[in-house]
Structure 1
Amino acid sequence: MTSALPSASPAVPLVLSGFGPVGQAFLEKIGAQQQRGIAVTVIRGQASETTLGPGSGVPDRASWHPLAQLEATLDRTGAGVLVQALPSSPEAHPRAVDEAITALRRGVHVVTATKSHLLTHWRDLEQAARTGGSRIRISGATGAALPTADLARLGVRGLDCHALRACPNGTSTFVLDRISDGGSLKEAVREARRCGIAEADTSADLSGSDAATKARLLAGLLWDWDVARIQIETEAIDEGTVELAAAAARSGRRLRAVASASLDRPMTVTVRLERVGPGDPFFHITGPEKAMTFHCPDAGDITVQGGRSSPTGAALAMVKDVLNLVEGNATGFH
């Protein structure tokens, strides 16, 4: 008996846009996949770019060249995937939109951890992908290493998922646990930063907007809602929350910032501070952990939790998305 060996796949060049902490972590982690013929060939920084040779390191920034038009870079490299690790900032937003739409229209897949353009141009990105016959993957934008985007897109397909309930922001969970133990809000935020859980600006975490953003993206995948049109209602973590968290702890409960979306309230995402008990899956998450529950009336609730909130976690999510895209035509169980 003979067995057929799979033929070697052609190399898949990647263009990496953005080289901050997430981009740097991605470059490190994707390096382990070079035996699969997957490698970053160009890194595009804020105003300059560099080309990487096989097995070469990243040159000193002083030797990088001025940023070229993305179309020229894609043509020159024959890139199969554009990987976006741009910050979700107003300054980077126009570039994130332009690069993603350009790549998708040209038949280049996009893997992104950038959220801003997903929130404003969801349908435009979708149409660009249809035009180019390409795909876009957003795991790094929805929960870092927690594979919630895969569940929303494929894992609960056909299970009639009716609602989503989530604690998708690790910083808020960490802070709420610290203040429930008697610490002040300022002390809790300072500790979250010291542990590398929170960034310098925690406004999106404490206001509920980051949790709402992730829930909006998942709702778009679940129910084909136009993410740009989803309305949000949020409840913030502030000084008044300290007593709420302490009172919840005294009653054997924990306070959690819970994002929710449901078919009962189309095109709406809420973030509320909820007192959850030991029977709730969100009671048991600790530190920077995240958790999400997909409510499927006939199949039952499906909960996933864990996943590191860090540049490494987001980078690994993007590596996973890249592998799923470039190996999407594999046979057998793959």
Structure 2
Amino acid sequence: MADALKIGIAGLGTVGASLVRIIQQKSNELAVTCGRPITITAVSARDKARDRGIDLSTVTWFDRPEDLAEKGDIDVFVELMGGAEGAANVSVRTALQRGLHVVTANKALLAYHGVELATIAEEKGSLLNFEAAVAGGIPVIKALRESLTGNSVSRIYGIMNGTCNYILTKMEKEGLSFAECLKEAQRLGYAEADPAFDIEGNDTAHKLSILTTLAFGNQIAADDIYLEGITNISIEDIHAAAELGYRIKLLGVAQRTDTGIEQRVHPTMVPVDSVIAQVDGVTNAVAIESDVLGELLMVGPGAGGNATASSVLGDIADIAKSQPGAQRVPVLGHPAATLEPYRKAQMQSHEGGYFIRLTVLDRTGVFASVATRMAENNISLESIVQRSKQHLAPSHHQTIILVTHATTEESVRKAVASIKSEGYLFGEPQVIRIERPKEEG
């Protein structure tokens, strides 16, 4: 049997501790399946004295991850600290420059420095694996980087943040407000004390930018994504969606168009009988549409210590099985030097249409004015419903719900801005894209 693959782990939080535990518990099985033992020889974390429920008596401790990357007796540097800058960035670069293989679960690091890191790895002949960075335990990176070779991907979309999906699911099933569901998510550990990164869509955007590069061969463009979170989703929106036959999900969507690549993250109404509408709680789902395979949908746990550690271990096992000097799969699916500059697509018509909820003053002429403003912006309405139920609008106000036919984001935003200028709008309007089955588009 070949010599042991020596692992250094930087970061011993929930994922890092789970990884250590799994490797130690399954050492014999891993040695057989990988053709060589996998041994943890060094670690780094903030607090050496903390009881993590794992045995670290035989490993070398480094207070600084940078020192582990530079001096550790390791073959693979595993980065589980998080963050685009600071220790994570420096230590990963140090490890790659040293010629070590790297495994990371850090989507922010890859979203902002992935192309540079891929360039270093390819120059040094090292592997940079990051399956756990997107969708937790779902092997979407391997699918795009290896399994779908020969396929031309046209679109990729999915539920990529368990926190948001949990909140939206709980709002629908229990009729609770966004604030109540967020508080419960924090209590259960699904949401951070400061949940902004998740609920405002940034986490999904980082993951989407990585998948976009793998799918379309462009440079990563994490800051060039249309971004809208779920903080403005109300229980009224949940109820209205259900009445129309939809559920609301936060989706990340990337697709190739004639004018470039379109990337967007926003709440979306999906048909209640669609597969993705059935993905509840903290579960993630990613769909890939390609010319040869058609549509591939992968569903699984998107977060959690064991799910993420499983993906990290899969990346380590791939390194253990790799042959020295063998041809490496490009880090980002395409050689870093060949990645094309990101070309943002021009705004195009959204075939599914839009759901628009307006709370307006209850006075004569408002209903007709809203319809007129839509027509002025060439927006064709599939339906327009006027409601005055007390649970939908306060006294002296009414709720108007519009569903449009295919139209552009620009037209919708102009129409809404025009309505706001009329002075009869109460509060902020709600605008949600609708995704319909392809045969209806």
Same fold by TM (over 0.5)?
Answer: yes
Structure 2, unaligned stretches of length 5 or more? 32-36, 325-441
Whether the 8 Å CA contact 1:173–1:286 is kept in 2: the answer is yes
Q: CA–CA distance in 2 between the matches of 1:297 and 1:262?
A: 13
1:129 maps to 121
Whether the 8 Å CA contact 2:250–2:267 is kept in 1: the answer is yes
Whether the 8 Å CA contact 2:200–2:229 is kept in 1: the answer is yes
1:73 maps to 71
Q: CA–CA distance in 1 between the matches of 2:138 and 2:194?
A: 23
SS at match of 1:123: helix
The sequence identity of aligned pairs, in percent, is 24
Q: CA–CA distance in 2 between the matches of 1:303 and 1:240?
A: 26
Deviations 1:144-184 (A, max 9, x none): 11111111211222111111011111111111122223101
Q: CA–CA distance in 1 between the matches of 2:61 and 2:118?
A: 33
Deviations 1:250-279 (A, max 9, x none): 233210111101121645420121111144
1:52 maps to none
Whether the 8 Å CA contact 1:291–1:305 is kept in 2: the answer is yes
Q: CA–CA distance in 2 between the matches of 1:207 and 1:251?
A: 25
Q: CA–CA distance in 2 between the matches of 1:27 and 1:266?
A: 43
SS at match of 2:294: coil
Deviations 1:161-216 (A, max 9, x none): 11101111111111112222310111111222333322322212211111111111
1:327 maps to 321
Aligned match for 2:9, one of 16, 27, 30: 16
Deviations 1:57-96 (A, max 9, x none): 2259xx956437245423xx1x2211010022x6xx2221
Whether the 8 Å CA contact 2:161–2:302 is kept in 1: the answer is no
Aligned match for 2:264, one of 261, 270, 280: 270
Q: CA–CA distance in 2 between the matches of 1:266 and 1:281?
A: 28
Q: CA–CA distance in 1 between the matches of 2:217 and 2:292?
A: 21
SS at match of 2:153: coil
Specify the code of the residue in structure 2 equivalent to 1:193. Q
Whether the 8 Å CA contact 1:231–1:267 is kept in 2: the answer is no
TM-score normalized with structure 2 length:
0.65
Aligned match for 1:164, one of 146, 156, 164: 156
Q: CA–CA distance in 1 between the matches of 2:207 and 2:198?
A: 11
Q: CA–CA distance in 2 between the matches of 1:65 and 1:236?
A: 39
Deviations 1:106-126 (A, max 9, x none): 221111012222122122101
TM-score normalized with structure 1 length:
0.85
Answer yes or no: is 1:255 the counterpart of 2:253.
no
Whether the 8 Å CA contact 1:48–1:65 is kept in 2: the answer is no
Q: Give the alignment of 1:42-53 within 5 angstroms.
A: 42-46=42-46
Q: CA–CA distance in 2 between the matches of 1:220 and 1:47?
A: 36
Structure 1, unaligned stretches of length 5 or more? 1-7, 50-55
SS at match of 2:287: strand
Q: Give the alignment of 1:244-323 within 5 angstroms.
A: 244-264=237-257, 266-323=260-317
Aligned match for 1:106, one of 98, 115, 126: 98
The 10-residue stretch of structure 1 (314-323 or 242-251) with the greater mean CA deviation from structure 2: 242-251
The 10-residue stretch of structure 1 (116-125 or 136-145) with the greater mean CA deviation from structure 2: 116-125
1:155 maps to 147
Q: CA–CA distance in 2 between the matches of 1:111 and 1:65?
A: 18
SS at match of 1:22: helix
Whether the 8 Å CA contact 2:82–2:109 is kept in 1: the answer is no
Greater share of strand: 2
Q: How many Å apart are 1:231 and its aligned residue? A: 0.9
SS at match of 2:266: strand
Q: CA–CA distance in 2 between the matches of 1:193 and 1:47?
A: 24
Deviations 1:276-312 (A, max 9, x none): 1144221111111111110113421111012252122
2:130 maps to 138
Whether the 8 Å CA contact 1:14–1:81 is kept in 2: the answer is yes
Answer yes or no: is 1:173 the counterpart of 2:171.
no
Q: Bigger relative contact order, structure 1 or 2, given CA contacts below 8 A and separation 6+?
A: 1
2:82 maps to 87
SS at match of 1:69: helix
The 10-residue stretch of structure 1 (96-105 or 124-133) with the greater mean CA deviation from structure 2: 96-105
Q: CA–CA distance in 2 between the matches of 1:14 and 1:218?
A: 27
Q: CA–CA distance in 2 between the matches of 1:12 and 1:298?
A: 37
Q: Per the alignment, do residues 247 and 322 of structure 1 end up closer, same or farther by CA in structure 2, a change over 3 Å counting?
A: same
Q: CA–CA distance in 2 between the matches of 1:125 and 1:280?
A: 38
Runs of 4+ in 1 over 6 A off after TM superposition: none
Rg larger in 1 or in 2? 2
Q: CA–CA distance in 2 between the matches of 1:231 and 1:279?
A: 32
1:25 maps to 18
Q: CA–CA distance in 2 between the matches of 1:17 and 1:277?
A: 43
Q: CA–CA distance in 2 between the matches of 1:42 and 1:217?
A: 29
Q: What is the root-mean-square deviation in Å for CA atoms of aligned residues?
A: 2.5
SS at match of 2:225: strand
1:53 maps to none
Aligned match for 2:202, one of 195, 209, 224: 209
Aligned match for 1:198, one of 166, 174, 191: 191
Specify the code of the residue in structure 1 equivalent to 2:288. F
